[in-house]
Amino acid sequence: MTTNDQRLNALFAQYRDACPEVEGSPEFMPVLWRRIEKRGSVAYLLPRLARLACAASAVICLVLAALVSLPGLAAPRSTASAATYADALSADHSAEKTYYTESIRATDNLVPADYSR
Amino acid sequence: MLVEPELIERARQGDAGAFNQMVAAYRKRILGTISRLIGRPEDVEDVAQEVFVRLYYSLDQLRTPEVFEPWLYRLSVNACYDYLRRLRRRGEYRMADLSEQQVLMADSSASGKRSDEDAEKVRLREFVDALFRHVSEEDRLLLTLKEVEGLSLKELEKVYRVNENALKVRLFRARQRVLKAFQAAREDGKL
């Protein structure tokens, strides 16, 4: 440790002694308890909760606005929504095909042995 | 510790008498620490009361009575930060930013002449406050806790909840800056 380091340490010690002692007023405890009771009261908590709710809703609004406005984050447009309902119906035959195929197969199974000859 | 762990336990369970005893035991120490951290004597009591109000409402979060003192220091440091932040927002300054000689002169005119010893103390405080202006507010608080309040690195680790090595680095840098300013002041014959 250098001499200047030691001098600085001594200076800090002197500084501590030079700082005035603070005793606090006789009203310290009564005022403290009044503040504790006020802090616990609804009158104190309600405005704080309201401010908190406002801040939370503002944050949610900002996040939603960002999600909507950013092109990359927006939900991709489905190709189906671009076409008309009729187009979509005509394009989708899978259900009908399945129905007819299944019924034909079912009918084949029901044919009696004599008729199949 | 200034109080028995049983007293803290009773205060945790809502015993107002035990809480009063705790405040009485730590009041002077906390007032002194806050006084050195914020440098505005007229607001020390207000900030100290804020610390004890926060203590009252956070006692149930205290894990064990053994960590009570670092916990109380942590509350004090946070209350001081909040106070200094409010002050900055309002555009006000710490008393230490003004010339203490001016304050002394104002006091002298109000309550008669001060002794030479008092004047020397004021000069010393003003000098150290000027040295502390070479570091940030956060580093000034940390340095004050270490060098003036005498908290150990282990205690500071609990107060700041930061790794001891990180604290060492921060403290070393802050102290080097203050030391540099101190050397410059000595060379200029200000001390």
- Whether A9 has its CB under 8 Å from any CB of chain B: the answer is yes
**Shared-domain flag, residues B18 and B69:** yes
d(CA B88, CA B95): 13
What CATH number does the domain containing B157 carry?
Answer: 1.10.10.10
CB-based burial, B30-47: b 16+ in 10 Å, e otherwise: bbbbbbbbbbbeebbbeb
Does some domain include residue B111?
no
Task: Tell me which chain B residues have a C-beta less than 8 angstroms from the C-beta of A5.
Answer: 179
B84 and B40 together in one domain: yes
Which of B178, B32, B38 is CA-nearest to residue B95? Answer: B38
Contact B176/A at CB under 8 A: no
Q: How confident is the model at residue B117 (pLDDT cuts 50, 70, 90)?
A: confident
pLDDT, residue A89, reads 74
CA atoms within 13 A on the CB side of A13: 6
User: Do you know the residue count of chain B?
Assistant: 191
**Chain A contact probe: residue of B43, B124, B175, B176 with most A CBs at under 10 A:** B124
pLDDT for residue A54: 92
B149 contacts in chain A (CB < 8 Å): 16
User: What pLDDT does residue B49 have?
Assistant: 96
**B26 close to B72: Cβ distance less than 8 angstroms:** yes
Please give the structure tokens belonging to residue B15: 């015993």
pLDDT score at A86: 77
Q: Does residue B112 belong to any structural domain of this protein?
A: no
pLDDT at B127 > cutoff 80:
yes
Indicate if B7 and B86 belong to the same structural domain.
Answer: yes
Looking at the structure, do residues B93 and B137 belong to the same domain, yes or no?
A: no
Closest residue in chain A to residue B176, using alpha carbons only: A5
State the complex-level ipTM: 0.78
- Work out the minimum CA distance from B158 to partner chain A, whole angstroms: 23
Query: Letter for the amino acid at B6?
Result: E
Report the C-alpha gap between B108 and B103 in whole angstroms.
8
The answer to whether B32 and B40 are in contact (CB under 8 A) is: no
pTM for this entry: 0.69
What would the mean pLDDT of A60-83 be, rounded to a whole number? 73
**Which comes out higher in pLDDT, residue A47 or B3?**
B3
Residue B160 belongs to what domain range? 133-191
CA B71 – CA A79 distance, rounded (Å): 60
Q: How many CB atoms lie within 10 A of CB B75?
A: 19
- In a shared domain, residues B179 and B89: no
Interface contact B49-A20, CB threshold 8 A: no
Cα–Cα distance measured from residue B173 to residue B141, given in angstroms and rounded to the nearest whole number: 14
Q: Which residues in chain B have Cβ-Cβ distances shorter than 8 Å to A7?
A: 182, 186
Q: Is some CB atom of chain A closer than 8 A to the CB atom of B25?
A: no
Please state, in angstroms and rounded to a whole number, the distance separating the CA atoms of residues B34 and B23: 15
Taking the domains of chain A in order of start, what are their residue ranges?
24-74+83-110
Domain match, B10 and B72 both: yes
pLDDT of residue A3: 85
The total number of structural domains in chain B stands at: 2
pLDDT of residue B119: 87
**Residue B15: inside a domain, yes or no?**
yes
> Which of B53, B76, B97 is the endpoint of a domain?
B97
Mean pLDDT of B56-69: 89
Asked if A8 and B178 come within 8 Å (Cβ–Cβ), the reply is yes
Within an 8 Å CB–CB cutoff, is residue A44 touching chain B? Answer: no
Q: Which residue of A has its CA nearest to B30?
A: A22
> What are the structure tokens assigned to B27, written together?
């009041």
Q: Do B7 and B92 lie in a common domain?
A: yes
The mean per-residue pLDDT over the stretch B92-97 comes to: 52
- Tens-place pLDDT, residues A26-53: 999 999 999 999 988 776 677 778 888 9
Among A5-19, A29-43, A94-108, which stretch is predicted with the lowest mean pLDDT?
Answer: A94-108
